[in-house]
Structure 1
């Protein structure tokens, strides 16, 4: 039926559809048109169109023509030099057409259109220089990001037996790096970490932070004693820092004995979160001056040992968090915020805490801020010993075997094997070993 309809008298052969824009040249034109449409400065063109429309409706001569310079001037703020020149050319051409239509003399029209021409040239030059500055800024930003990744290496979600999360915010958002520092490394002596704050800002603070982190990462692997790690950082800073420069820091380590070791060098006390949810500030028993100032005070740092059970968490931070203020000049209550948002996932806890901190200060911090949360997950429950005796072999009773149908001589053999099995079970219970009962049963006569 379908074939009959296709071959009917009224049937006209259907020519294949020809894609008139197909081919390499058509795809290039399509690409070019898409790029032009994407880069078209819509608002400047709209402003020029409105001015032309007003002039056409009002017929005011040269009154509105100087305003055509607003189009290229606005295009310079959002587009490149090519777009600026395009908008300027459009404005000049439309202005010339309007002037000729209104009967403006050539000299007067040239004087009026000189303003859009001059603004177009100046805007194009400004756009070219602005694009160059943007490229330089992008290159500097990429270098800053590379420096940040080299200094503040990304911390994995799991380090050794711990769950870890880090949040860092630099006060200079374009630089994305500041004087706060943190590091967490697994070593042969356990997991060790540092959170610190360099006095000052800018490139000198970044250089000092790089020095501290480099010495810490090296010493953490070499020194079995945590105080020796702090000593090496102190000696390096004393050789490289000025007399009024210093670094506040907390150096911590989880030893193989299962205890948390903390050395606080003039830094804000860490917050210890117990599994019950209570938040306790780990105040140093013997306050120690910041790193780089030991020669002035003569006081050696002290080691503080704390129990760190399953489910406990430790939050280390910098003063950019605790010194953040709201519009009422009140400091952010970090301990209360941590108690509100603490959970079994450090990443989720720090995300909620950081968002609350930004909302508290109005959206932007005025100092570098670092947060590092360490959690020791609870170990799974050990397997129950209820089925420990399930492997003991059950032995049929003598009466059951003798009363079985078709017993005879075979029953005597089975009973004898059962007695041997009972004897072996009693030997296994006493721990004396013995042969497997399966060997005796296999030797029974069928």
Structure 2
């Protein structure tokens, strides 16, 4: 996820306790200690086969073979200490290590191949994500932008939620949308929506005409049975705000003085793809005027409909003022993501996209003028 606020840089070196050789080493050490404590009557020699068996869980075939060599050496030493060299017990234990090692090597090779395929899939998904929805520019017109995307798919980083921003002559134009469904068909529909927005936004003066263009593209380039909730917004240089909702959650407005509220959208249009069923002609609505330092959070229902184990929705309006007041917008979205996970106590089960817009003059432009 090239533009999420939640990607931290971690060291590629694992802590020693998580390294592949630790579980087999611990298992064989415990077996040796138990053997010394209990004596030869209990015949714990076969338990040394746990070493190569555990090595297959995280290690390479080389790790498995190394654990097997250690197990055989320990069996030989234990047998010598107990006066059992050449005894049938010893040969059975060594044979067990050989059989377990062969199986563990196969498991290790199979696991490594699956992991490589998973890495390939993740890299392809990340590339597709970057092409479909590249990071938003740091600034578009009168607003600074910070985006975050999180897919619910474990093996992919791309889904049907999207946002895009473009500069227009009188300010910034923004779209955030959520494609119904999941999988490749949702990704295809998201690509259609993004392409239609980018192709037309510079030439279409009003949000309702832009929405009709996007809806027409959906009808022409998708199966026709897929709908998309969407929120279009124009943020003008003078702070005026125009919104057009097609069944999408209301944005959250955090004033510079700390006051927080949802921006009401009393007359939303049906989701894109369903307008033909109603025949309604949606009308853009004027939102509250923005002043310097005000922040608008656009989001999809993966955030607003996140639930805890009891079924309670995430209290966005109650928690957002403190979280989004962080001077660093990246940290603000990081904190919001962490708070949602704390609320749900589990991994997300729906895609979610967040776009934080801060209204105000460009500090870089002010420094250049000075």
Classify the TM-score, shorter chain: 0.7 to 0.9
Which among 66, 76, 86 is matched to residue 46 of structure 2?
Answer: 66
Secondary structure at 1:254's aligned position in 2? Answer: strand
Q: SS of 2:40's equivalent?
A: coil
CA distances 1:207-266 after superposition (whole Å, capped 9, x unpaired): 211111111111112323322221110101112333431000001112466532211111
The answer to whether 1:370 aligns with 2:350 is no
TM-score after normalising by structure 1 = 0.70
State the shift of 1:192 in Å. Answer: 0.9
Q: 2:222 aligns with which of 238, 241, 244?
A: 241
Q: Give secondary structure in 2 for the equivalent of 1:122.
A: helix
Measured in 2, the distance between the counterparts of 1:378 and 1:189 equals 14
Name the structure 2 match of 1:414: none
In the other structure, the counterpart of 2:312 is 330
Q: How does 1:103-252 map to 2 (within 5 A)?
A: 103=84, 105=86, 109-252=90-233
Q: Distance in 2 between matches of 1:105 and 1:217?
A: 78
Partners of 1:370 and 1:112 in 2: CA distance: 56
Q: Which has the larger radius of gyration?
A: 1
1:437 aligned residue: none
Could you tell me how far 1:378 is from its partner in structure 2?
6.1
Runs of 4+ that moved beyond 6 A: none
What SS does the aligned partner of 2:223 have?
coil
Q: Does 1:316 align with 2:298?
A: yes
After superposition, the Cα gap between the structure-2 partners of 1:99 and 1:153, relative to the gap in structure 1 and judged at 3 Å, is: same
| 1:162–1:375 CA contact under 8 A, matched in 2 | yes
Distance (whole Å) between structure 1 residues aligned to residue 356 and residue 345 of structure 2: 24
- What residue is the counterpart of 2:68 in the other structure? 88
Distance 1:321 1:91, change over 3 A: same
Unmatched tracts of structure 1, length 5 or more: 1-37, 381-446
Deviation at 1:284, TM superposition (A): 2.8
Q: How far apart are residue 285 of structure 1 and its match?
A: 4.3
Pairwise CA RMSD: 2.7
Give matches, 1:240-279, under 5 Å.
240-255=221-236, 258-279=239-260
Q: Contact between 1:61 and 1:102, CA under 8 Å: does it hold in 2?
A: no
Deviation of the 1:106 alpha carbon: 5.8
Q: Secondary structure at the match of 2:201?
A: helix
Structure number with greater CO (CA < 8 Å, separation at least 6) is 2
1: CA distance between counterparts of 2:332 and 2:33? 58
Does the 8 Å contact 1:241/1:292 carry over to 2? no
Greater shift, 95-104 or 360-369, is seen at 95-104
Structure 1 pair 124–249 and aligned structure 2 pair: CA distance change class (3 A): same
- Three-state SS of the structure 1 residue aligned to 2:189 is helix
Name the counterpart of 1:339. 321
Classify 1:201/1:85 alpha carbon distance in 2 versus 1 (closer, same or farther; 3 Å): same
Q: Deviations over 1:181-215 (max 9, x none)?
A: 11112234531111111111122212211111111
